[in-house]
Amino acid sequence: MVQESNENLPTSTSAITEDEILLQDQQMKRIEDEQKAAPLVGDKSPFFTLIGYYDEVTSPAFFAKANELAETYSDIRYIRGDGNCFYRAVLVGLVEIMLNDREKLLKFIASSKEWTDRLVKLGFPDWTCTDFCEYFIEFLQKIADGKTKNEAVFENMNDDNTANYLLMFFRLITSGYLKGNSTEYEPFIGEGMPLAQYCESEIEAMWKEADHLAIIALVKATNIHLRIEYMDRSVAPNGGWHHNLPDGDDATFVPDITLLYRPGHYDLIYKKSVDSSG
Amino acid sequence: MTEMYNTKNAGVRRLMQEAKELRNPTEMYHAQPIEDNLFEWHFTIRGTLGTDFEGGIYHGRIIFPADYPMKPPNLILLTPNGRFELNKKICLSISGYHPETWLPSWSIRTALLALIGFLPTPPAGALGSLDYPAKERKRLAKTSVDWKCKECGCVMKDVLLPITEDGQLKETEEAKHLAAQLKFQDESVVKKEVAEAENQEKPTENKSENDSSSPTVSETSQASEKLTETSPPETTPLAVVVEETVSVDDPIVVIEPVQEPSPVGASYQQHRRLASQSFDYSLLLTVPLGLICVAIFITLLARRILVENGNPLNEPEL
């Protein structure tokens, strides 16, 4: 379903003036197809599979880091790299938590309903935004009512249409959080861009990667504890190997969700459980 | 139609809801799915007062990608209008900053209002755009009311609600505001046009769509009141530039009969005559100007040569 072969591409060159454009389109299509070759959300797989991506000789730093992380983390869920990976990873992580914890599920349904009203008050386009919220709440409610089984939940997560609709809710509350606290966050936006414009062009638009501001906003909007492990120290905002959000001491911080950051991409990772032999 | 589609599919659900929202025609726009296909609609829009498109009513198709609303709808105009080529996909995107950005929270209504607002803006040479002279656009606007869609059979003058000046003004404001944010072009140039996004990239922000459910006059007036607070009033009434729209380097009115199936055979001849008129005017200006420039240049050159040759060293006075 996901993979469309390249034979479907328009090969006609009848419109000579548009040759270049056609080529560009083909290129875009190829990139999209490549992305779509990977599932939106992969199955949980052993963490050591990550080590296989790096060569000991040509990229020793990443190879060593992957080995090091493998001591702490047991599993990884690869997320498709389509610009939505941060939001999708958090979405999947949260849904997993809620599948195992009914109390948290009900709490999140309640807070999602609050968000719906808040977005309307913030002036988001009326019914289209509410529609994304309602779809998300309905999705959670079905889990709460036992109408959607766990396997079906992950089928939904891998269906482009459904999954992206759910994901839009996360983009909207991220944007909503920033707009609701604009005085606090506007100074962080570069080039004197107004916050509202930043939100529309960088957050509310699909396929736009989340930057640090978006990450903070989503963490605050969803009230989760998030840890991000970095493969590359230089990109971590605090210069460390990992980053806790909201800021917290390593000793006391218990992350709900942990993500692995490789340049330009986030995947979902899972810590070894304490009782497992390692 | 409901039974044909999986109503659990989020996109289908959304389109059905939009169809419901837009069921009743307004003064400015109307759009509904064609009979057997939820992913293809027909729309009708009205040209705004005070522009070349005043009095015009234009019809077209909307084709939705399978992952609408994550990706934008494609609009195709069918009624001759003098601003967009017919039967070509016009692609919707935000201007300037990230030209390929469409927000999933926008709707068909947003797209139609933007198109209305975009009609009177200069095409800036974009592929798929037409730059007919005002006179021709006005003529097309006049004839458009009798235009009939071959597919859905509707005649333009019957589609929209009768116009009340008050109602139109309100929605025109919103349309203009949206057009400042959005950019319509032939699909294929969008990627190339990044740099040329010109003046429209100024940050006129704040939510553009405040309410939409049923665009009665009172509701839309609220909306546009909010709008006028946040956005600077549009200047540049385009009617000012009526006859002067003569471009020097290309004879603009090159009309291919294919995309301009005008009912009257004579109108084609009229286009030709218009073309020659505008061409003549431009020549009248450029040719003499050019000649004068060349003459001045030669004079100066000649003088210099003469000065240098005639007065070798010690004659600084001349």
Q: What is the ipTM of this complex?
A: 0.83
Pairwise CA distance, residues B90 & B113, whole Å: 14
SS (H, E, C) chain B: CHHHCCCCCHHHHHHHHHHHHCCCCCCCEEEEEECCEEEEEEEEEECCCCCCCCCCEEEEEEECCCCCCCCCCEEEECCCCCCECCCCEEEEEECCCCCCCCCCCCCHHHHHHHHHHHCCCCCCCCCCECCCCHHHHHHHHHHHCCCECCCCCCEHHHHCCCCCHHHHHHHHHHHHHHHHHEEEEEHHHCCHHHCCCHHHHCCCCCCCCCCCCCCCHHHHHHHHHHHHHHCCCCCCCHHHHCCCCCCCCCCCCCCCHHHCCCCCCHHHHHHHHHHHHHHHHHHHHHHHHHHHHHHHHHHHHHHHHHHHHHCCCCCCCC
Residue ranges covered by each domain of chain A: 45-77+228-239+246-271, 81-224
Pair A168, A124: CB distance under 8 Å:
no
CA distance B75 to chain A (A): 18
Pairwise CA distance, residues B83 & A60, whole Å: 59
Pairwise CA distance, residues B233 & B226, whole Å: 12
A103-116 in b/e form (b: 16+ CB < 10 A) is eebeebbeebeebb
**A106-110, B183-187, B267-271: which range is least confident on average?**
B267-271
Non-local (6+) Cβ contacts of B131 within 8 A are B122, B123, B125, B245, B247, B252
* Residue A101 appears among annotated catalytic residues: no
Q: What is the mean pLDDT of residues A9-28?
A: 56
Pairwise CA distance, residues A33 & A6, whole Å: 8
Pair B120, B131: CB distance under 8 Å:
no
Could you tell me which CATH class the domain B2-191 is placed in?
Answer: alpha beta
Residue B272 has pLDDT above 60, yes or no: no
Residue A212 has pLDDT above 50, yes or no: yes
> Do residue B10 and residue A194 have CB atoms under 8 angstroms apart?
no
Residue ranges covered by each domain of chain B: 2-191, 214-278, 283-310
Strands B37-46 and B57-63: antiparallel
Assign A243 to helix, strand or coil.
strand
A35 touches chain B (CB under 8 A): no
Residue B17 has pLDDT above 70, yes or no: yes
> Do residue A165 and residue B98 have CB atoms under 8 angstroms apart?
no
Pairwise CA distance, residues B202 & B32, whole Å: 33
Residue B310 has pLDDT above 70, yes or no: no
Q: Which of A24, A161, A196 sits opposite B9 (nearest CB)?
A: A161
Pairwise CA distance, residues B46 & B55, whole Å: 7
| Tokens at B235, concatenated | 């200047």
Q: Count H helices, E strands: chain A?
A: 10, 6
The one catalytic residue among A82, A133, A243, A267:
A82
Instruction: List chain A residues with CB under 8 Å of B203.
Output: 193-194, 197
Could you tell me which CATH class the domain A81-224 is placed in?
Answer: mainly alpha
Alpha helices by DSSP H, listed for A122-159, are: 126-144, 150-157
Residue-wise pLDDT tens digits, B65-77: 888 898 888 889 9
CA distance B317 to chain A (A): 56
The one catalytic residue among A85, A129, A133, A199:
A85
Pair B10, A161: CB distance under 8 Å:
yes
What percentage of chain A has pLDDT greater than the value 70? 88
Residue B250 has pLDDT above 60, yes or no: no
Assign A46 to helix, strand or coil.
strand
A197 touches chain B (CB under 8 A): yes
| Residue found under tokens 């419109």 | A15
Residue-wise pLDDT tens digits, B87-121: 888 755 533 334 456 889 989 998 898 888 888 88
The one catalytic residue among A243, A265, A267, A275:
A265
**A124-138, A151-165, A214-228, B238-252: which range is least confident on average?**
B238-252
- Beta carbon pairs, A and B, within 8 Å: 91
**A181-190, B172-181, B241-250: which range is least confident on average?**
B241-250
What percentage of chain B has pLDDT greater than the value 70? 57
CA distance A245 to chain B (A): 28
Residues comprising chain A, all counted: 278
Q: Who has greater pLDDT, B294 or B121?
A: B294
Which residues is A45 bridged to in the sheet? A76
Pair B90, B63: CB distance under 8 Å:
no
Pairwise CA distance, residues B117 & B184, whole Å: 10
Domain boundaries A45-77+228-239+246-271, corresponding CATH code: 3.30.200.60
Q: What is the mean pLDDT of residues B140-166?
A: 88
Q: Who has greater pLDDT, B286 or B46?
A: B46
End-to-end CA distance of chain B: 90
Instruction: List chain B residues with CB under 8 Å of A193.
Output: 203
CA distance A92 to chain B (A): 18
* Residue A133 appears among annotated catalytic residues: no
Residue A100 has pLDDT above 70, yes or no: yes
User: Of the ranges A191-195, A233-237, A253-257, B297-301, which is most confident?
Assistant: A253-257
Residue B311 has pLDDT above 60, yes or no: no
